[in-house]
Amino acid sequence: MLDQKVTSKFPTLERPFIRAEIHGDDRCAAEGITVVASAPALGICRKLIEAGYDPATPLEAWRGDVLALRVRSIGDGAALTVDEHNGTRLAKWKPFCRSAVSPRIARREGTV
């Protein structure tokens, strides 16, 4: 919903924000895109950038009629993840490295 405005203390920096809806503990939807992830509001930021949205666009994540999270920009949100290894904290996001797992094993004909 890019028709809404966010007003900061600097009036010249008014810009529209994206409204996202959080469902459950792992799902977030905005602008026709849905993400299922352990940190869904941050995941939706990455997907929105992939879809071509301006990384400077702010995002508000709502749970029903309650504002749950405000992200300064989807670019900032896309750069973060939740690290639960040393307590719960925000950390720099890194894309999944496919070489860290074994390659798929091809199925032989006639096997399940």
Segment 52-76 shows an average pLDDT of 94
95 — phi, psi (to 5°)? -65, 150
Domains in the chain, number: 1
- Tell whether 101 is covered by a domain: no
Q: Which residue has the higher pLDDT, 15 or 32?
A: 32
Asked if the structure places residue 103 within a domain, the reply is: no
Tokens of 67: 């504002």
For residue 112, tell me if it sits in a domain: no
pLDDT of 11 reads 44
Cα 45 to Cα 75: distance, rounded to the nearest angstrom: 7
Is 90 contained in some domain? Answer: yes
Give 29 or 12, the one with higher predicted confidence. Answer: 29
Residue numbers of the domain that contains 35: 5-94
DSSP state for residue 26 in the 8-state scheme? T
Burial of 71 (0-12, 13-18, 19+ CB in 10 A): buried
At 16-27, the pLDDT tens digits run: 899 999 999 999
The pTM of the full predicted model, rounded to 2 decimals, is 0.67
What's the CA gap between 52 and 103, in Å, rounded? 31
Residue 38, pLDDT score: 85
In a domain, 38, yes or no: yes
Paired tokens of 56: 């400077």
Q: Rounded CA gap, 101 and 68, in Å?
A: 35
Residue 101, amino acid:
V
Quote the mean pLDDT of the chain.
78
- 18 or 105: which leads in pLDDT: 18
Distances (CA, A) of 9 to 3, 6, 14, 27: 20, 10, 9, 32
Greatest mean pLDDT among 81-85, 87-91, 107-111: 81-85
Give me the pLDDT at residue 2, please. 52
Query: Does a structural domain hold residue 100?
Result: no
Residue 84 in any domain: the answer is: yes
- Residue 105 domain-assigned (yes or no): no
